[in-house]
Amino acid sequence: MARQHEWLSALAAALLFAAWVAVARGPTVPTVWQGSTLVVVDAGHGGVDPGALTADGREEKQINLAVAHGVAAALAARGVAVRLTRSRDAAITGGASTPELEARAQYANHLGATLLVSIHSNTEPTGTVVGPIVYYRAGSILAQLLANDLEAELAAATGDVHRPRPAHHLLLMKANMPAVTVELGFLSTPQDLRRLTSRAWQARLARALATGVLRYLHRQGHRP
Ligand SMILES: [Zn+2]
């Protein structure tokens, strides 16, 4: 009797889980999004803060901004409301990095953003590592799911695979919504530097990120 009871409990749990999966999946991705979904895209650095500098003097902030514009345009084309923390080469506060990062998080918080994607470009000392890496707010399951969707699209677009990593970046920790930092690639690696300074590659990364955001929104049921 006890065994039958256990079996029925397991069956009930399985049916509940199947129902939850069906609801969580929802219908196919619509072509036009409406409603309260709002994505904030942050182009890292800006103004007096150039971010990382390349060997030939190029600035990280410009690459970040170009890709952020591409992501915003691709999402807007799908009907998603998007705001950029900066749309040109300027900082919000014009000052030091801690208040600047706090201001960017507050901007997304005040807007009640659905999610926040911060875009940066990486460096490392060996000059050999390539490919994008997505960092998600440590301890946030939703941010991790968002990171997984972004990483899947970036890996498909670039052929470079890096598992998403938890982080305690100030911007991520101050944001009230699922938040990730995308490092587009390594400015310190010649192969990545060539790719990251190419408009075609920037557009490719932007499309991948927009597709990943759409996939996440769809999975989480953010639609009209
Ligand atoms: Zn940066």
Q: How far is the CA of 90 from the centre of ligand 1 (A)?
A: 14
Q: In what helix (H) or strand (E) does residue 111 lie, and over which residues does it extend?
A: helix 97-111
| In the chain, % of residues over pLDDT 90 | 78
Compute, in angstroms, the gap from residue 120 CA to the centroid of ligand 1: 4
Residue 102 forms part of a structural domain = yes
pLDDT for 141 beyond 70: yes
**From the CA of 77, how far away is ligand 1's center (Å)?**
27
Range of the domain at 139: 32-219
Instruction: Identify the pLDDT of residue 183.
Output: 98
Inside any domain, residue 189: yes
Reported as a pLDDT band with limits 50, 70 and 90, residue 7 is low
Does any domain span residue 4? no
Rounded mean pLDDT of 185-196?
Answer: 96
Q: Separation of 154 CA from ligand 1 center, angstroms?
A: 18
- Whole-angstrom distance, CA of residue 174 vs CA of residue 72: 22
Distance 192 CA to ligand 1 centre (A): 15
Lookup: tokens for 18 = 């199947």
207: which residues sit within 8 A by CB, 6+ positions away? Answer: 70, 74, 157
Instruction: Please tell me the distance between residue 29's alpha carbon and the centre of ligand 1 in angstroms.
Output: 32
Distance 31 CA to ligand 1 centre (A): 33
Confidence class of residue 21 from pLDDT cuts 50, 70 and 90? very low
Cα(53) to centroid of ligand 1, in Å?
10
Q: 179-186 and 38-43: which strand pairing?
A: unpaired
Residue 215 within a domain: yes
The per-residue pLDDT for 56 is: 87
Q: What share of the chain is helix, strand, coil (3-state, %, to 5)?
A: 50, 15, 35
> Of the candidates 93, 145, 158, which has an alpha carbon nearest to the alpha carbon of residue 114?
145
Q: What is the pLDDT of residue 159?
A: 97
Question: 162 in a domain, yes or no?
Answer: yes
pLDDT greater than 50 at residue 103: yes
* Strand order from edge to edge, sheet including 179-186: 81-84, 38-43, 115-122, 179-186, 133-137, 165-167
Token pair listed for 222: 């953010």
Tell whether 154 is covered by a domain: yes
Which segment of 27-31, 45-49, 160-164, 186-190 scores lowest on mean pLDDT? 27-31
In percent, the amount of the chain with pLDDT more than 70 equals 83
Q: Average model confidence (pLDDT) for the chain?
A: 88
Q: What is the CATH number of the domain that holds 93?
A: 3.40.630.40
User: What domain count does the chain have?
Assistant: 1
Query: In this model, does residue 194 exceed pLDDT 90?
Result: yes
Residue 117 forms part of a structural domain? yes
Nearest-angstrom CA–CA distance, 202 and 206: 6
